[in-house]
């Protein structure tokens, strides 16, 4: 692992969402340097986060990096950049798109995610190394 756990960016996700579970699995597979940490929005780590404007909606993905919160499409683009490789290029290209379009697209999918992808009833079990990346 490249980053110290306390300094690593944390991706907060809806622990009950099938799309979110798949997204976390994708990040685990593509984050070769194990930079990201993961915690559910319903968990202790997010509840203990002392940030005034932290989102309360479960349909909002949140990334905490260097004390700053990024949400929705901003968080997703930053995650792609962190993962690196060709995904960094995709993040840069995505950042050129109009923010209103990115946010509208995010909200469109977020509103329908449970209907399209279901709940995270059965997630794959993370390996021992991967478990160390998860926070309560």
Average pLDDT for the chain: 87
**61-65 long-range contacts, Cβ below 8 Å, gap at least 24?**
61/11, 61/12, 61/13, 61/14, 61/20, 61/23, 62/11, 62/12, 63/9, 63/10, 63/11, 63/12, 64/9, 64/10, 64/12, 65/9, 65/10
Measured distance CA(70)–CA(65) in Å, rounded: 8
**Closest to 119 (Cα-Cα) out of 13, 25, 17:** 17
**Beta-bridge partners for 12:** 39, 62
Query: pLDDT tens digit string along 27-62?
Result: 999 998 999 999 999 999 999 988 878 888 888 899
| pTM of the predicted structure, to 2 decimals | 0.86
pLDDT tens, residue by residue, 4-19: 445 899 999 988 888 8
């Amino acid at each position: 692992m490249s980053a110290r756990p306390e300094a690593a960016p944390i991706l907060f996700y809806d622990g009950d969402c099938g799309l979110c579970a798949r997204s976390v699995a994708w990040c685990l597979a593509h984050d070769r340097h194990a930079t990201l940490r993961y915690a559910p929005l319903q968990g202790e780590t997010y509840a203990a986060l002392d940030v005034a404007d932290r989102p309360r909606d479960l349909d909002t993905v949140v990334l905490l990096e260097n004390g700053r919160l990024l949400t929705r499409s901003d968080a997703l683009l930053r995650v792609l950049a962190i993962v690196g490789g060709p995904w960094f290029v995709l993040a840069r290209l995505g950042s050129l798109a109009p923010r209103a379009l990115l946010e509208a697209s995010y909200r469109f999918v977020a509103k329908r995610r449970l209907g399209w992808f279901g709940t995270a009833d059965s997630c794959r079990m993370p390996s021992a190394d991967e478990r160390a990346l998860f926070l309560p």
